[in-house]
Structure 1
Amino acid sequence: MTAFMRAYVRIVDGANYHIGRVMMYGIFVMAAILLWSSISKTYFLPSLWTLEMAQFAMVAYYIMGGPYSMQLGSNVRMDLFYGRWSVTTRAWVDSFTVLFLIFFLGVLLYGGIDSLLYSLQYTERSPTAWRPVLWPIKTIMCIGIGLMLLQAISELFKDIAHIRDIEI
Structure 2
Amino acid sequence: MPDYLKTYVRRVDRFNRRLGRIVMYLVFVLMGVLLYSSISKVFFLPANWTLEMAEFIMIAYFLLGGPYSMQLDSHVRMDLIYGRWSPRTKAIVDCFTIFLLLAYLGFMLYGGISSTMYALEYGETSYSSWSPYMAPIKIAMTLGIFLMILQSISILIKDVAIWRGEPIDDV
Give the TM-score normalised by structure 1: 0.98
Distance 2:37 2:82 in 1: 44
Quote the residue 2:49 is aligned against. Answer: 49
Distance 2:40 2:84 in 1: 53
* CA distance in structure 1 between the partners assigned to 2:82 and 2:130 by the alignment: 47
Tell me the SS of whatever aligns to 1:79. coil
Residue 30 of structure 2 corresponds to: 30
Give the counterpart letter for 2:56 in structure 1. Answer: F
> Whole-Å Cα distance in 2 between the matches of residues 24 and 136 of structure 1?
19
After TM superposition, what 4+ stretches of structure 1 lie above 4 angstroms from structure 2?
A: none
For 2:49 and 2:78, how far apart are their aligned partners in 1? 39
In the TM superposition, residue 81 of structure 1 has moved relative to its aligned partner by 1.4
Q: Percent identity?
A: 55
Structure-2 separation of matches of 1:105 and 1:139: 15
Tell me, which stretches of 5 or more residues in structure 1 are unaligned? none
1:72 partnered with 2:60: no
TM-score (norm 2): 0.96
5+ residue gaps, structure 2, are none
Task: Write out aligned runs for 1:12-27 (5 A).
Answer: 12-27=12-27
Residue identity opposite 1:97 in structure 2: T
Give 1:167 shift. 3.5
* Cα root mean square deviation, aligned: 0.9
How big is the shift at 1:82?
0.5
Q: How does 1:1-168 map to 2 (within 5 A)?
A: 2-168=2-168
